Chain A
């Protein structure tokens, strides 16, 4: 079985970059403070919460992309790829939710707030879960693949809505980039953020490739078992 050296390189690099970003966040990037002068320590969550969230959106694109590819070609590998992309999305979505909830508790004083970004992201979580519920409830393999692809494409529409909604509506969720005067970061904060973001995307790619390799191995094993059984 061919190994994918790129996946392992990406895993190593991603791990290195995210670890570096972790230290940069706590020892290099300046702390922020509230208008009344108190130190805002919880802002440190930003360096990992946002990269994980962006990664969840980006990986979800592949669910829709491979869904379209599958419907056009009917090759099973694309369905497997779409499924794995959705799995990685679910993983990132759960991490985003967990870190987000903790940040909300510190900054807003509540664990949860029904505001546009949180609401649409919650809907995204439900859609990603629904994707797997749908897969589990269809027995015929081709039907499962077609339905999952169709639903993945339809569900993806929520991702851009969730991403842009803080810019369209009045939202108390912070807009860090391109959101008017109060947005934007100091250079050292920006560099820390970019390192974390790039590292996280590399990890996302590595996770996807590793899971794909696992699925390929599993399929080969099943094929061999059938061969022996005959």
Chain B
């Protein structure tokens, strides 16, 4: 068991770093794209509504 810890502990920061980067990267990408899509959809709705209002009046 001591052997296991001796090997794992010095290597751990790099493995945690690698997996951390991947998770942060993937989640960050999804979060950013969804955020932008949400904003764009909202803007589109506002614009479409204003166009409709103008068409009615």
Which residues in A have some Cβ–Cβ distance to B below 8 Å?
1, 11, 18, 22, 37-42, 44-45, 48-49, 52, 91, 94-95, 98-99, 102-103, 105-106, 203, 207, 210-211, 213-214, 217-218, 220-221, 224-225, 227-228
Contact = CB atoms under 8 A, between A and B. Distances in A.
Contacts of B34: 210
Interface residues of B, number: 30
B11 A98 contact: no
Given A39-B3, A99-B21, A102-B17, 14 more contacts: A18-B26, A39-B4, A40-B7, A41-B11, A42-B14, A45-B19, A48-B19, A95-B21, A102-B15, A103-B18, A105-B14, A106-B15, A203-B26, A224-B44
A41 B45 CA distance: 51
A39 B8 contact: yes
A99 B18 contact: yes
A22 B44 contact: no
| Main secondary structure on B side of the interface with A | helix
A18 B29 CA distance: 15
B31 to A, nearest CB: 11
Given A22-B19, A99-B22, A106-B14, A41 B8 contact: yes
Given A210-B33, A228-B51, A49 B11 contact: no
Interface in B1-37: 3-4, 6-8, 11-12, 14-15, 17-19, 21-22, 25-26, 29-30, 33-34, 36-37
B51 A217 contact: no
